[in-house]
Amino acid sequence: MHARRLGQRLADLPQRGRARWRRPQPGHCAGEREGLRGRGCSSGVGAHAGARDAAVPALARSGPRQLRPIAAKVPRRAVFVGPRTSRLGHEDRALPGCRGRSAGPPCRRTRGPGPEPAADRFHRMVVGPSRSGIRLHGIEDGMTTTPPLGGPDTIPIAPGKIPALGHALAFRKDPINFLTSLSAIGELVKVYLGPVQTYAVTSPRVVYQLLVTEAAHFENGRIFDKMRGFFGNGLITSNGAFHRRQRRLIQPAFSQKNITTYTEVMRREIGELVASWQEGTVVDIQAATDDLSLRIGVATLFKTELGTSAKETVKECLPVVLRGLLVRTLLPDVVFKLPIPGIQRLNDAERRLRAAIGEIIRTYRADGADHEDILSALLAARDDETGEGMSDAEVLDEVVSLVLAATETNSSVLASFFYRLAEHPEIADRVSAEIDGVLGGRQVQYEDLTKFKHTLNALSEVLRLDMPVDMFMRRATEEVVIGETRLPAGSEFIFSIPALHRNPDVYPDPLQFDPDRWIRRPARDLPRGSYIPFGTGGRICVGNAFAWAELTVVATTVLAKWRLTVAPGAKPKRVHQASTHFTSLPMALEAR
**pLDDT tens sequence across 142-185:** 444 556 788 899 999 999 999 988 998 888 788 888 999 999 99
Q: Which of 447, 485, 202, 232 is nearest to 353 (CA)?
A: 232
Alpha-carbon Rg of the chain, whole angstroms?
A: 29
Query: Is 96:119 a contact under the CB 8 Å cutoff?
Result: no
Q: How far apart are CA 101 and CA 98, in angstroms?
A: 8
* Cα first-last separation, the chain: 80
Q: How far apart are CA 304 and CA 307, in angstroms?
A: 8
pLDDT < 50 regions, the chain: 10, 14-144
Q: Which of 401, 24, 477 is nearest to 228 (CA)?
A: 401
Query: Is 341:237 a contact under the CB 8 Å cutoff?
Result: no
DSSP letter (8 states) at residue 67: G
Q: How far apart are CA 183 and CA 154, in angstroms?
A: 16
Q: What's the pLDDT at 306?
A: 66
Query: Is 211:535 a contact under the CB 8 Å cutoff?
Result: yes
Q: What's the pLDDT at 418?
A: 98
* CATH node for 188-304+369-591: 1.10.630.10
Q: Write b or e for each residue in 478-512: b if 16 or more Cβ atoms lie within 10 A of its Cβ, otherwise e.
A: eebbbbbbbbeeebbbbbbbbbbbbbeebbeebee
Distances (CA, A) of 283 to 138, 168, 268, 554, 590: 68, 35, 20, 16, 11
Instruction: For 501-528, give the DSSP string.
Output: TT-TTTSSSTTS--TTHHHHS-GGGSPT
Instruction: For 110-150, give the DSSP string.
Output: TT---PPPP-SEEEEEEEEEETTEEEEEEEEEEE-SSPPPB
Q: What are phi and psi of 194, to 5 degrees?
A: 65, -130
Instruction: For 285-349, give the DSSP string.
Output: HHHHHHHHHHHHHHHHHS-SSTTHHHHHHHHHHHHHHHHHHHHHHHS-GGGGGS--HHHHHHHHH
Q: Which of 473, 479, 511, 512 is nearest to 495 (CA)?
A: 473
- Strand, helix or coil for residue 103: coil
Strands of the 20-22 sheet, one edge to the other:
20-22, 78-81, 121-130, 133-143
- Strand, helix or coil for residue 580: strand
Q: What's the pLDDT at 77?
A: 39
The whole-angstrom distance between residue 436's C-alpha and the CA centroid of its chain comes to: 35
Q: What are phi and psi of 165, to 5 degrees?
A: -90, -20
Helix (H) or strand (E) holding 373: none
Q: How far apart are CA 399 and CA 220, in angstroms?
A: 19
DSSP letter (8 states) at residue 252: G
Q: Which residues contact 100 (CB under 8 A, 6 or more apart)?
A: 29, 31, 32, 41, 42, 89, 90, 91, 93, 94, 107
Q: What's the pLDDT at 1?
A: 54
Distances (CA, A) of 578 to 321, 406, 583: 10, 12, 13
Q: Which residues pair with 199 in a beta bridge?
A: 190, 493
Q: How far apart are CA 182 and CA 28, in angstroms?
A: 35
What ranges make up the beta strands (E) of 188-259? 188-193, 196-201, 218-220
Q: Which of 393, 329, 319, 387 is nearest to 358 (CA)?
A: 393
Annotated binding site: which residue ranges? 541
Query: Is 21:102 a contact under the CB 8 Å cutoff?
Result: no
Q: What's the pLDDT at 435?
A: 97
Strands of the 492-495 sheet, one edge to the other:
188-193, 196-201, 492-495, 472-476, 218-220
Q: What's the pLDDT at 168?
A: 84
Q: How far apart are CA 156 and CA 418, in angstroms?
A: 40
Q: What's the pLDDT at 587?
A: 97
Annotated binding site for heme: which residue ranges? 541
Give 11-24 pLDDT, tens digit per residue. 555 444 443 444 44
pTM of this prediction exceeds 0.85: no
Q: What's the pLDDT at 404?
A: 81
